[in-house]
Amino acid sequence: MPNGLVGLYVGDVVGKGVTAALYAALVMGTIRGINKTGEDPATVLALLNKRLRVRPVPGRYSSTLYALFDPVSGE
């Protein structure tokens, strides 16, 4: 990130196969598009949730964790 922090994403989607892989790509593409400046993780995840709810995919959902790591302080 421009501020020196490292963004860490971890997620999982329900299902298997191509459909689940495409939904995972949608989630990761959306979160990458939202977060380019190191905003607060709660703000980023709230906006991700809002955007995913605009175009729901029946029977699909994702659990996503997002954190910021400061390599200088180790926090």
For the segment 44-68, the average pLDDT, to the nearest whole number, is 88
Residues 59-73 have pLDDT tens digits of 888 899 988 899 999
38: alpha, beta or left, given left = phi > 0 and alpha = psi -120 to 50? left
- For residues 30 and 71, give the distance between their C-alpha atoms in angstroms, rounded to a whole number: 25
Residues making up the chain, counted from first to last: 75
Residues 3-30 have pLDDT tens digits of 888 888 899 999 889 988 999 999 988 9
Asked if residue 74 is part of any domain, the answer here is no
Six-digit token string for 36:
């380019």
The domain tally of the chain equals 1
Asked if residue 28 is part of any domain, the answer here is yes
* 48 compared with 56, residue with greater pLDDT: 48
Strand (E) positions, the chain?
A: 6-13, 62-69
Q: pLDDT-based confidence at 37, cuts 50/70/90? A: low
- For residues 70 and 5, give the distance between their C-alpha atoms in angstroms, rounded to a whole number: 5
Asked if residue 75 is part of any domain, the answer here is no
pLDDT above 70: residue 38: no
Asked if residue 1 is part of any domain, the answer here is no
**Containing domain of residue 31, as a range?**
6-69
